[in-house]
Amino acid sequence: MNSRHLFLMGGSPPFGHKFGRRFTELACGADGKIAILYLERKGWEVYMNKYTSALIPNGARNFCYLPLSPDPAESFLQELMSCSGIIIGGGETENYRRFIVDSETGECIRRMYMNGIPVAGFSAGALIIPEHCIIPPIDTPKRQHLFLKGIGLISDCAISVHLTKWNERENLKAAAGKVNAATGYGIDDDAGIYFHNENFADNEGSIHIYKNEI
């Protein structure tokens, strides 16, 4: 089985220096092609520089910008599958989940991840990656705490982003209990966690780990 690499980032891009270098190396540097999955909106082209700014100094040259939709075209899926690294952007978490988890895009991501393609998620992108996609009230239009199906790249954990900014400590503890997860990971803005073969391996910036008494 291939070695698997997952980066969960707690806020907006860019990567920190350490994770920017590591992600680029895993995505094969100048020889690779990195997919950036995003929700299309006005000014998206300018915002893409935030994702690439920590990767280009480490040798990344080729980027593939893929706007998400609930029914991806075959050309979209073929382009995604040709990439050697995947970044899932931030924004409206429920739409990211709807466009990825419940479409062929999510299945492609799962297959690519299992084949050793590194995957990174920023904010909303991080929330949809685990088995349980837990969206806090502050991040939903109706201010509901949502417990939904995620992509499923990692299990037995609850993930919270913008932890300090959104004051999510108690929500994280409650969420870990509700989904019966052994660990809750709270990730601050400008911080991230790296999982190697689904095991916590490293962090950059401020994170908070909560062990659930199961």
State the pLDDT at residue 41: 84
Residues 50-75 have pLDDT tens digits of 999 999 999 999 999 999 998 999 99
Cα Dmax for the chain: 46
Distance CA 154, CA 178 (A): 17
At 22-55, the pLDDT tens digits run 999 999 877 899 999 999 888 888 899 999 999 9
The domain that contains 135 carries what CATH number? 3.40.50.880
Residue 2: per-residue pLDDT: 85
pLDDT confidence band for 214 (50 / 70 / 90): low
Beta strands in 78-125 (DSSP E): 85-88, 119-122
Is the pLDDT score of 135 beyond 60?
yes
Q: 176 and 185 in contact (C-beta within 8 Å)? A: no
Q: How high is the mean pLDDT of the chain?
A: 95
Tell me, what's the pLDDT at 46? 87
Strand partners, 63: 34
Residue 181, φ and ψ in degrees, nearest 5: -90, 140
Q: 104-115: buried (b, 16+ CB within 10 Å) or exposed (e) per residue?
A: ebbebbeebbee
Decide if 125 contacts 90 (C-beta within 8 A): yes
Beta-carbon count within 10 A of 78 CB: 10
159 pLDDT above the threshold of 70: yes
Q: Which domain holds residue 128?
A: 5-211
Question: Within a 10 A sphere around the Cβ of 202, how many other Cβ atoms?
Answer: 13
Indicate the SS3 state at residue 190.
coil
Beta carbons within 10 angstroms of residue 179's beta carbon: 18
Q: Which tens digits make up the pLDDT trace of 174-203?
A: 999 999 999 999 999 999 999 999 999 999
Report the pLDDT averaged over residues 102-109.
Answer: 95
Segment 99-107 mean pLDDT: 95
How many helices and strands in the chain, by DSSP H and E? 8, 12
**pLDDT for 126 beyond 80:** yes
d(CA 128, CA 168): 17
At 45 the pLDDT is 85
Best CA proximity match to 149, nearest among 124, 130, 176: 130
The total number of structural domains that make up the chain = 1
Percent of the chain with pLDDT over 90: 90
